[in-house]
Amino acid sequence: MMQKKIWIKIFISCLIITWLNLSCRENKKLPDDFELATAWADMTNYITKTTPANSPTFASRCFGYIGLTMYESVVNGYPEYQSVAPQLNGLGSLPLPEKGTRYNWQLALNAGQAEILRSIYIQTSDKNKSKIDSLEQYFVSVFKIKIPDESIANRSILYGKKIARLIFEWSKTDGGHRAYLNNFDKKLFFADKPGCWKPPLYAQSFSHFPLHPHWGQNRTFLAVDSSIAAPEFIPFDTMPGSAYYNQFMQVYKKEKILTQEEKEAAIWWSDDPDVTFTPPGHSYYFATLAIRKTKPGLIKCAETYARLGMAVADAFRNCWKWKYQFFTERANTYVPQHIDQRWESFWPDPPFPAFPSGHAIQAAAAATVLTNLYGENFAFTDSAHVGRARDEIRNTDFKARHFNSFWQAAEETAMSRFYGGIHVPQDNARGLEKGKIIANNINQLHWEKISDNRYK
């Protein structure tokens, strides 16, 4: 009897040891390039989501620098590609790798991503910082084994870090550095004119000042992006039947007939910075979906994140410029005053002016970049919020969404703000238009050395 028990114990122990061995060996298998890149994108979104006081503006800017770092840390390993640094708004050339020496570009990317994340999200918790460190350490340990010469590994790591530090230094002068410390300018004086933005009563934020009012003065990644013409705006009017009035009437009427599916879209895309990775994070996640599906090489992964990051960053910067130029009201201000006092939007107001929609502009920018890289008919399933507790107030679940193209997703992003009652149609339409223009500028950078064929 006793002997039998001992044998069982020994058998189980052997099983565990074998399993451990196997799993360790499996861990040491070299990850594919796309796995390395997307692991860092996942980490980037995790940090974006779990760092307090984040905002779509600040997050968008971080995606820009993090994506750019990924590209610049590996681009010199791919002779057909070139650095875009000199084509950007004042970054200048970044240092080249030492001639005649070997590099491991995976280790360079790994070091660069860890470094830029730690620097640009300096405000994140110690727990999050150690998560970044352990991901970095993990990849170092798996790649180092395969590299015979330790000096190659060290050189690569140093190079990746150097690129990250230089990009971070550049980021400090764009106007958005440590902007989380000044989300709301409490000394801001804003004019009180008809149709102007009013601090919301049914609000997402406790602040009665609008978010990042000076964001529109920040440096853009592309100089050309700062000179895009302002969108057309339908002028204020209280006359029933006027074009302006009808914009709000549409929102008002829609709220009363929202289908369950439209409600699902409204909460899905809300991407509240307090609990999610913000709207630009949602776009960064789309890049990850495209990469996981197509499994491209390292350089295309990096190019994807760089383009996407800079596109959403410039989209938000321009959007904020126009938001404060027009400084327009939301439906929660106009409708109770001119249509129905008891009305309330399906989703609470964010703390900034309405026109144009930030969701729309960044979604269009992201879709334009991703379509250019992965084609028009790209079917994918968005599961970003699957598993979140249902929205009890609105009786709505977070359900995965399927799209046949990136543009379809962008259009739904924009529409969802209309369903939520926080944007009128013109906010969305002008947002989509401008986002496309911004992304096309990014697409037209010279990424490949003999690039020009690709974009014609």
Partner 1 sequence: MITGINEMRYCLFMILFFLHFFIYNSFCQTRFKDITAEAGINQVFKVYEGMFGGGACVIDFNKDGFEDLYITGGMNDDVLYKNNGNGTFTNVFEQSGMRGTKNYVTQGVAGADVNRDGFVDLFVTTITRRDKRLVIPRGINFLFLNNGDGTFRDATKEYGLDQLFSFSTGAGFGDFNADGWPDIYVGNYFNEYKGKLSVINDNTVVEANQIAKGYLLLNENGKKFRDVYSEYGLDYRGFGFGGVFTDFDNDGDQDLFVNHDFGYKRTPDMLLENRYPKKKFTDVSKETGMDLRINSMGTAVGDYNNDGLMDYYMTNIKFNYFMVNQGVGKPFVNKARELGMDFFAISWGANFADFDHDGDVDLFVANGDLNPNCVPMADFYFENLGNKFEDHARAVGLADYGIGRGSVVFDYDNDGDLDLLVVNQAPVLDYPVSSYTRLYRNDSTGGNWIKIALKGVQAESHGIGSKIEVEAGGKKMIREIDGGSSSHLSQNSVIAHFGLGKVPKINKITVYWTGGNKQTISNIPVNRLITITETPEKKSNRFFVYLLIGLCSAATCFILWKKVKMA
State which residue, 125 or 173, has the beta carbon closest to partner 1.
125
Measured CA distances, 424 to 120, 331, 348, 399, 412 (Å): 34, 7, 14, 25, 14
Name the minimum Å distance from CB 44 to partner 1.
Answer: 18
Name the minimum Å distance from CB 348 to partner 1.
Answer: 6
Name the minimum Å distance from CB 176 to partner 1.
Answer: 14
User: Do β-strands 380-382 and 401-403 pair in parallel, antiparallel, or remain unpaired?
Assistant: antiparallel
Q: Which helix (H) or strand (E) holds 402?
A: strand 401-403
- Which burial class, exposed, middle or buried, applies to 35 when counting CB atoms under 10 A from its CB (0-12, 13-18, 19+)? middle
| Beta carbons of 73 and 163 less than 8 angstroms apart | yes
Return the SS3 of 407: helix
218 in contact with partner 1 (CB under 8 A):
no
- Which burial class, exposed, middle or buried, applies to 427 when counting CB atoms under 10 A from its CB (0-12, 13-18, 19+)? buried
State which residue, 53 or 223, has the beta carbon closest to partner 1.
53
Pick the binder of partner 1 from 38, 44, 45, 51 (CB under 8 A).
51
97 in contact with partner 1 (CB under 8 A):
no
Pick the binder of partner 1 from 12, 20, 201, 230 (CB under 8 A).
201
Binding track over 321-340 against partner 1, x by CB under 8 A: ---------------x----
Name the minimum Å distance from CB 362 to partner 1.
Answer: 22
Please state the three-class secondary structure of 281-334 as a single string. Answer: HHHHHHHHHHHHHHCCCHHHHHHHHHHHHHHHHHHHHHHHHHHHHHCECCHHHH
Name the minimum Å distance from CB 342 to partner 1.
Answer: 8
How many other CB atoms are found less than 10 A from the CB of residue 131? 17
433 in contact with partner 1 (CB under 8 A):
no
Pick the binder of partner 1 from 175, 195, 199, 297 (CB under 8 A).
199
Write out the DSSP string of 171-189: HTTSS-TTGGGGSB-TT--
Q: Could you say which residues in the range 172-191 bind partner 1, by CB under 8 A?
A: 178, 180-181, 186
Name the minimum Å distance from CB 214 to partner 1.
Answer: 18
- Which burial class, exposed, middle or buried, applies to 19 when counting CB atoms under 10 A from its CB (0-12, 13-18, 19+)? exposed
Q: Where do runs of H (alpha helix) occur along 29-149?
A: 33-50, 56-74, 105-120, 126-145
State which residue, 123 or 451, has the beta carbon closest to partner 1.
123
55 in contact with partner 1 (CB under 8 A):
no
The partner residues of 73 in beta bridges, in order of sequence, read: none
Name the minimum Å distance from CB 400 to partner 1.
Answer: 24
48 in contact with partner 1 (CB under 8 A):
no
| Beta carbons of 371 and 406 less than 8 angstroms apart | yes
195 in contact with partner 1 (CB under 8 A):
no
Cα 177 from Cα 179, distance rounded (Å): 5
Name the minimum Å distance from CB 235 to partner 1.
Answer: 24
Binding window for partner 1 (CB under 8 A); candidates: 122-130, 211-219, 282-290, 314-322: 122-130
Pick the binder of partner 1 from 50, 123, 325, 440 (CB under 8 A).
123
344 in contact with partner 1 (CB under 8 A):
yes
What are the tokens at 308?
């996407």
5 in contact with partner 1 (CB under 8 A):
no
DSSP conformation class of 274: T
406 in contact with partner 1 (CB under 8 A):
no
Which residues are at the interface with partner 1 (CB under 8 A)? 51-53, 122-126, 178, 180-181, 186, 198-199, 201-204, 206, 208, 272, 274, 336, 341, 344, 348, 393
